[in-house]
């Protein structure tokens, strides 16, 4: 018996459809969500992500601006642009594509973005709000995971949830969102002892380590929901996740594919955050 395939493309299309409907209603009230995307340098993966975000803006009826800055852009120049966008009434969300070149501090860039326009939810103010459970924006990948769990009726309440990975972008906020939904959460990482045994107890297992085929069938509980956040490239160029899909597919109850699982959800949640920001700026509660 194979796992239920958690189709991120399908769920993403559904969510984007509802976002477009809401944007069309907002336009009648003179409000159009606006997103500014900044990219510094020529990183090929970043170029692809930025193109995908531009396409998503079009699909959702957003106004968007793209700023492609040369590699040698200084930190002062980049923060100057962010300050301008902070005060631009047409821009509701500001996203600076990471990584930035080594001479620029990522934290300084994050800190410069107005928290009400921080649609990545990386600013310390927004991180703090997530911690206490009173947030406006959620980090896009963990939010996408929660949307998938909801769509497929996987309720974290009372379940053992294990997150492999402790990054600020995925692992830590993922654990907080599962905790807010009454899951009993364990965060695993490179120093975790008996990792296999810990993972094998999970009803919901989220893999976010960035290592191809890291999660094998013996780490998975029979019938568990397994969420693969990994995006790794094999030597042949093929994209693969952190989970050994074929073998885990025979054991899990639910499983996300890579590509086509969490990936499409991440950009869709960015659109959802930008819509929320536009409503906040316009003073619209509904």
Contact predicate 222/205, CB 8 Å: no
For 240, other C-beta atoms within 10 Å of its C-beta total: 18
d(CA 252, CA 3): 5
For 122, other C-beta atoms within 10 Å of its C-beta total: 24
Indicate which residue of 92, 117, 118, 120 is catalytic: 120
In angstroms, the Cα distances linking 214 to 19, 84, 115, 228 are 35, 43, 35, 10
Residue 271's Cβ-count burial label (10 Å; 0-12, 13-18, 19+) is buried
Indicate which residue of 53, 172, 221, 272 is catalytic: 53
In angstroms, the Cα distances linking 32 to 19, 86, 192, 269, 286 are 12, 17, 47, 17, 15
Angle of CA points 93, 40, 212, to nearest 5°:
90
Residue 66 annotated in active site: no
Q: Are strands 4-5 and 254-255 parallel, antiparallel or unpaired?
A: parallel
Residue 21 annotated in active site: no
d(CA 6, CA 230): 15
DSSP string for 216-258: -GGGS-TT-EEEE---EE-TTS-EE-SB-HHHHHTT-SEE--S
258 Cβ contact list (under 8 Å, min separation 6): 228, 230, 231, 239, 240, 241, 243, 245
Residue 77 annotated in active site: no
Active site residues: 53, 97, 120
């Amino acid at each position: 018996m194979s796992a239920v395939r958690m189709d991120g493309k399908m769920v993403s299309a559904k969510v984007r459809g509802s976002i477009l409907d809401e944007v069309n209603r907002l336009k009648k009230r003179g409000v159009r969500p606006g997103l500014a995307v900044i990219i510094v340098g020529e990183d090929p993966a970043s170029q692809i992500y930025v193109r995908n975000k531009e396409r998503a803006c079009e699909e959702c009826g957003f106004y968007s601006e793209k700023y492609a800055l040369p590699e040698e852009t200084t930190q002062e120049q980049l923060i100057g642009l962010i300050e301008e966008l902070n005060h631009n009434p047409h821009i509701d969300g500001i996203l600076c594509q990471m990584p930035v070149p080594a001479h620029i501090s990522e934290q300084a860039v994050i800190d410069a973005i107005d928290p009400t326009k921080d649609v990545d939810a990386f600013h310390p103010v927004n991180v703090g709000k997530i911690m206490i459970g009173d947030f406006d924006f959620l980090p896009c990948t963990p939010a996408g995971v929660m949307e998938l769990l909801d769509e497929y009726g996987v309720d974290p309440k009372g379940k053992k949830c294990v997150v492999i990975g402790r990054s600020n972008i995925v692992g830590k906020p993922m654990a907080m969102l599962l905790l807010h939904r009454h899951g009993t959460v364990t965060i695993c990482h490179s120093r975790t002892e008996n990792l296999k045994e810990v993972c094998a107890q999970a009803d919901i297992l989220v893999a976010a380590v960035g290592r191809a085929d890291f999660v094998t069938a013996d780490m998975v509980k029979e019938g568990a929901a397994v969420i693969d956040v990994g995006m790794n490239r094999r030597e042949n160029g093929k994209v693969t996740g952190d989970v050994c899909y074929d073998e885990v597919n025979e054991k899990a109850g639910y499983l996300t594919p890579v590509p086509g699982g969490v990936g499409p959800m991440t950009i869709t949640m960015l659109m959802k955050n930008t819509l929320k920001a536009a409503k906040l700026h316009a003073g619209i509660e509904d």
